[in-house]
Structure 1
């Protein structure tokens, strides 16, 4: 496996990120609000507190990427 191929694929994915993110603003907002609400007063984010919101955001990104790949 060539190292340059790995970097090329990574760069391409990073170039698509803003476009995919724009398609998932509602999910990103919900996740951000959950994180902000659970980390008030300098608390650390605990695992699985916002899992529902994270999974929705992840699903949105995956679906947006699939649409982009068509």
Structure 2
């Protein structure tokens, strides 16, 4: 296993992050609304409370990252 170029690859992925995130603004907002609604007051976020919204965000982000790589 070679470590050559590992930092370069990591930096490149981080540079693409804002563009990928911008493509998924709607999904990110929906997930944020769900988390906010679920954790109002003293309630804690429970596992899978916003699973549907998170899955939509994950799929969008994965697709945006694939498009950005091409």
TM-score (normalised: structure 2): 0.89
The CA distance in 2 between the partners of 1:24 and 1:32, in whole Å, is 12
Between the two proteins, the alignment pairs up a number of residues equal to 69
Considering only aligned residues, what root-mean-square deviation do their CA atoms show, in Å? 1.2
- Structure 1 residue ranges (4+ consecutive) displaced by more than 3 angstroms after TM superposition: none
The CA distance in 2 between the partners of 1:43 and 1:51, in whole Å, is 17
Residue 53 in 1 paired to residue 63 in 2? no
The CA distance in 1 between the partners of 2:39 and 2:8, in whole Å, is 36
TM-score (normalised: structure 1): 0.89
Tell me which protein shows more helix as a share of its residues.
1
Q: Which runs of 5+ in 2 are unaligned?
A: none
Q: Which runs of 5+ in 1 are unaligned?
A: none
